[in-house]
Amino acid sequence: MLLRSLKDDRAPVRDIVVRFENEPRDAFDRIRCPRCAWKPDASSRWCCDYRQSPEPPFKSCGAVWNTFETAGRCPGCQHQWAWTSCLQCAVFSLHEDWYEPE
């Protein structure tokens, strides 16, 4: 009987997001894979490791970060990545090709 009194029958609260035309867009709204159109978000992470990438060999540091928060620059070793791999389709594309025009 005691456990039944702890049961929560309330419906989950749902957030309704309304975006107006003149409202600033999320920084990731205009970023997508040029090959498959997958869109990263703030929680997406890449690793500084040149192996199996089209990047010329360099002393990669293994840092893990969101490459779009730094425009492709590794926060660990400051290497400017020219290529970014898609976490969905695993294809490398030029980093600048991920940004859609405004």
Least confident among 4-13, 17-26, 56-65: 17-26
Least confident among 17-21, 58-62, 76-80: 17-21
Domain-wise residue ranges, the chain:
43-102
pLDDT tens readout for residues 6-21: 555 565 665 554 555 5
Give kind and range of the element (H or E) at residue 94: strand 92-94
Q: How confident is the model at residue 56 (pLDDT cuts 50, 70, 90)?
A: very high
Q: What secondary structure, in 3-state letters, does 40-52 show?
A: CCCCCCEECCCCC
